Amino acid sequence: YGAAEFESRPVLIVDTGGIDINTANQIELRVVEQALWAREEADFVIVVVDNQVGLTGTDREVIAQVRKTGKPFFLAVNKVDSASHHFILPEFSKLGLENTFAVSAEHGNGLYELIEAMAKSLPEPEPESDSDCDDIRIAVIGKPNVGKSSLINSLLDAERCIVSDVPGTTRDAIDTFLEWNGRRFILIDTAGIRRKGKTHQVLDKFSVIMALKALDRCDVAVLVLDSAEQVSDQDATIAGYAMDRGKACLILGNKWDLSKEKEISFDEFEEHVRYRLKFMEYAPVVTVSAKTGLRIDKILPQVEKVYEEYSRKIPTATLNECFERAIQKNPMSSYRGKFMKLFYATQVKKQPPTFKCFLNFPQGIHFSYRRYLINSLRKTFGFAGTPVRLILSGKRKGIDT
């Protein structure tokens, strides 16, 4: 999979394995299953065929299967690039498909026309969420088999919760509205997590794609880890996506009942998590057990806390006092023999807290000093559970440069 832009619209492209509908090989059957899963999740589908091989029985079957979904799809006839294959073979043209494109992946021919057509088929973007809304949208993310489904079920079964399922804003998504302590929480696509956890054995990359889709719609990401195992590279990858998308985050170490059997202490577990997820040291860690219900009642209070930090607005005067103290304690170095100066700073965005500093030489700030300024913000204001972003800008005659 990979991120791209079509006509300035962000998209996620999923590349599945080659499909052989008639295979009996178990590995190839799994590839087919994964491809069919991706087809169900996609907004539109690109079917790639080989112009030099010609139309095969598998090509016909795949096209028929995609047609049944009723989704927009495009036939990309690849390898239209050699002296003997300048044109699409008649057998592809006879299919009568409106969106048929001759392309050469190797040389780039025809790709612009294909991308332009796909951009027109993109669904309308969802409206920007109201940052002043009190509802807290939660995405439960994590690699397969860490207990996301069980955790959600335990959370929904907890006392003092009022639960209702309603259609989500994306196709086939079911969001669960949950009222607790006078506040409403929205668990994003709970049906999708539970359904796919039980009925699909998908590749690791597809679990990441599911997390990405949920992250795009959430305020707080609840990252679920298996506390009885080491934090894996895939755990770190999913955590990184939450940070990159600027989402507040709470880390849950699930299956704590198994960890206790291994005589692992909380301090040992937290130390390991901090070591493996150094970039997310701001996220609180809570150990729970969906199986026994241990500390399930701590999840929503923690989510509420990190959401409040995620939504904080710092007064400009207070913010500048913080930076002034930080610079007095650790002055900025010079840039090309000239003193660097911070004129002023202001918060330009919430969710996540984003601050803009106006300096005479912003290009002279080393990344380590930027980190020092962010750490100073955290030391003064907290911001537990939320990323903090810092923009460095020049200032000339009252105009940003």
Residue 133, SS3? coil
Give domain limits for the chain.
2-120, 136-310, 316-400
Task: Give me the mean pLDDT over the 187-211 stretch.
Answer: 56
The 3-state secondary structure of 209-261 reads: HHHHHHHCCCCEEEEEEECCCCCCHHHHHHHHHHHHCCCEEEEEEECHHHHHH
CATH number of the 316-400 domain: 3.30.300.20
The architecture of the domain spanning 136-310 is 3-Layer(aba) Sandwich (3.40)
Residue-wise pLDDT tens digits, 70-90: 888 899 999 887 655 557 778
pLDDT of residue 400: 43
For 289-317, write each residue's pLDDT tens digit.
998 989 999 999 999 999 999 999 999 99
d(CA 66, CA 165): 29
User: Residue 149's closest CA among 231, 207, 88?
Assistant: 207
| DSSP character at residue 21 | T
pLDDT at 276: 97
- The H helix count followed by the E strand count for the chain is 13, 16
What is the amino acid identity at position 86? H
Cα–Cα dist 14/180, whole Å = 37
Which is nearest to 31 in space by CA: 211, 208, 206?
206
Residue 396: exposed, middle, or buried by beta-carbon count in 10 A (0-12, 13-18, 19+)? exposed
Spatial contact of 125 and 9, defined as CB atoms under 8 Å apart: yes
**CA atoms of 259 and 132, how far apart (whole Å):** 40
For the cut 90, the answer to whether the pLDDT of residue 231 exceeds it is yes
Please state, in angstroms and rounded to a whole number, the distance separating the CA atoms of residues 301 and 158. 13
Neighbouring C-beta atoms of residue 375, cutoff 10 Å? 13
How far is it, in rounded angstroms, from Cα 62 to Cα 60? 6
243 pLDDT more than 80: yes
CATH topology of domain 2-120: Rossmann fold (3.40.50)
Provide mean pLDDT across the span 124-146.
Answer: 74
Tokens of 102: 């001759």
Mean pLDDT of the chain: 82
Q: Which residues contact 395 (CB under 8 A, 6 or more apart)?
A: 343, 358, 359, 360, 401
Asked if domains 2-120 and 136-310 share a fold, the reply is: yes
Residue 382 to residue 390: CA distance in whole angstroms: 15
Q: Is the pLDDT of residue 194 over 70?
A: no
CA-CA-CA-CA torsion for 250, 253, 254, 256, nearest 10 degrees?
Answer: -140
Query: In 59-211, where do the E strands start and end?
Result: 73-78, 100-102, 136-141, 162-167, 174-180, 183-187
Angle at 63 between CA 59 and CA 64, to 5 degrees: 115
Q: Which of 105-114, 128-137, 189-198 has the lowest mean pLDDT?
A: 189-198
Kindly report, residue by residue over 345-400, the tens digit of the pLDDT.
999 999 999 999 999 999 999 999 999 999 999 999 999 999 999 999 987 444 44
**Residue 146 pLDDT exceeds 80:** yes
- pTM of the full predicted structure? 0.70
Can you tell me the mean pLDDT for 267-271? 95
* Distance linking the first and last C-alpha atoms of the chain: 36
Alpha carbon 180 to its chain centroid, in Å, reads: 26
Read off the pLDDT band of 270 (50, 70, 90): very high
CA–CA gap between residue 9 and residue 325 (Å, rounded): 42
